[in-house]
């Protein structure tokens, strides 16, 4: 879980970014966070070992980019269930391009995109008229938090339509399902509860942006609302809504994600996960054992497939 996190962009991560037409972005500081999307043709975002270069024109909300702000991004590649997460800080804005100093880079498991049937969607022509209609159809959330020091985290959430969120106009609830097993979002919500989220209906170019104050609960009645395949989540997250915005996303429209005819064959998520474990700066015994075990050909790929089949919910 922690050993696959590296503090730079290696060649595999840079290739992933070059193949990605869309990224969810979280921007914030110690007082709060906001989300937006960035997208276009593949290679709309570039970088090197130490930094990302993100053109402001690729962003739906370029005004969120401010020097010194925390930055979290989730890069998607069509047909690939796993995602790439990159965290850091906006260090400069040069020639209408944000320079992001990278502090963390790691791959995220495919469970959220599998649960949401993200890549099986066809383009949707209808326009959702109200937030209620949109939330009923939504199947994916990019959930952004920041800690007390202003470090950002952006986490993917996915579920079937009708079970992704519960929304009553004042609060929005969603389940915390099995995923990377990191606790960044939980820790951040405890120390700094102002959060943001972007909801998405795969196939649509509309998004619903939410900002508010988060809370977590183990209340059995709330958790039961998110029962799937006889599995009840251990935790639910609620957002007391301050801001709600249903709109078209130019970045999502430019990315042209759907329909997906086949997965990008140049991307090997399992290979990247193994490579990042080997690149991790931790040289302790656990790291050495993990690196040696994961070097067995095909072990990571088969392990991921088994996990996705047995522990999806």
User: For residues 237 and 174, is the Cβ–Cβ distance under 8 A?
Assistant: yes
**Number of compact structural domains in the chain:** 1
Question: 153 by DSSP, 3-state: which?
Answer: strand
On whether residue 32 sits in a domain, the answer given is yes
Q: Is 1 exposed, middle or buried (0-12, 13-18, 19+ CB in 10 A)?
A: exposed
Whether the predicted pLDDT of 200 surpasses 60: yes
CATH code, domain carrying 27: 2.30.110.10
Question: 103 by DSSP, 3-state: which?
Answer: strand
Mean pLDDT of 141-167: 93
CA quadruple 205, 210, 216, 218: dihedral sign: negative
Mean pLDDT of 152-168: 95
Annotate 73-140 with DSSP letters as a single string. EEEE-TT-S-EEEEEEEEEEEETTEEEEEEEEEEEE-SHHHHHTTGGG---------SHHHHHHH--E
On whether residue 309 sits in a domain, the answer given is no
On whether residue 125 sits in a domain, the answer given is yes
Question: What pLDDT does 301 receive?
Answer: 83
Mean pLDDT rounded to a whole number for the chain: 92
From CA 101, how far away is CA 313, in angstroms rounded?
35
Confidence of residue 1 (pLDDT cuts 50, 70, 90): low
From CA 262, how far away is CA 264, in angstroms rounded?
7
On whether residue 51 sits in a domain, the answer given is yes
From CA 9, how far away is CA 279, in angstroms rounded?
11
Mean pLDDT of 206-229: 96
Question: What pLDDT does 289 receive?
Answer: 54
Question: What pLDDT does 56 receive?
Answer: 98
Confidence of residue 60 (pLDDT cuts 50, 70, 90): very high
* Structural domain harbouring 239: 11-255
On whether residue 224 sits in a domain, the answer given is yes
Mean pLDDT of 124-152: 93
User: For residues 38 and 66, is the Cβ–Cβ distance under 8 A?
Assistant: no
**Which residue(s) pair with 217 in the sheet?**
236
Mean pLDDT of 94-111: 96
Mean pLDDT of 227-237: 94
Question: What pLDDT does 310 receive?
Answer: 87
What kind and span of H or E run contains 304? helix 299-310
On whether residue 295 sits in a domain, the answer given is no
* Percentage of residues of the chain with pLDDT beyond 90: 77
């Amino acid at each position: 879980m922690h050993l696959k996190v590296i503090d730079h962009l290696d060649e595999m991560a840079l290739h992933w970014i070059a193949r990605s037409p869309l990224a969810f972005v979280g921007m914030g500081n110690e007082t709060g966070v906001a989300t937006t999307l960035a997208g276009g043709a593949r290679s709309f975002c570039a970088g090197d070992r130490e930094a990302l270069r993100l053109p402001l024109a690729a962003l739906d909300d370029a005004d969120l980019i401010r020097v010194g702000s925390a930055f979290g991004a989730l890069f998607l590649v069509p047909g690939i269930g796993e995602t790439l997460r990159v965290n850091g800080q906006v260090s400069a804005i040069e020639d209408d391009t944000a320079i992001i100093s990278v502090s963390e880079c790691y791959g995220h498991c495919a469970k959220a995109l599998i649960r949401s049937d993200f890549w099986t969607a066809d383009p949707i022509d209808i326009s959702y008229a109200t937030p209620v209609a949109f939330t009923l159809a939504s199947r994916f959330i990019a959930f952004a938090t920041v800690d007390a020091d202003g470090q950002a985290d952006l986490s993917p959430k996915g579920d079937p339509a009708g079970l992704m969120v519960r929304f009553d106009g004042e609060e929005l609830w969603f389940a915390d399902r099995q995923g990377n097993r990191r606790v960044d979002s939980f820790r951040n919500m405890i120390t700094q509860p102002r959060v943001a989220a972007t909801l998405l209906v795969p196939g649509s170019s509309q998004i619903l942006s939410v900002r508010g104050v988060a809370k977590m609960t183990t209340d059995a009645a709330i958790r039961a609302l998110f029962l799937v395949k006889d599995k009840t989540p251990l935790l639910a997250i609620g957002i007391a809504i301050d801001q709600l915005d249903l709109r078209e996303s130019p970045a999502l429209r430019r990315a042209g994600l759907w329909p997906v005819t086949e997965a990008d064959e140049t991307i090997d998520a399992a290979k990247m996960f193994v490579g990042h474990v080997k690149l991790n700066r931790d040289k302790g015994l656990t790291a050495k054992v993990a690196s040696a075990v994961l070097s067995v050909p095909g072990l990571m790929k088969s392990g991921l497939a088994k996990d996705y089949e047995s522990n999806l919910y």
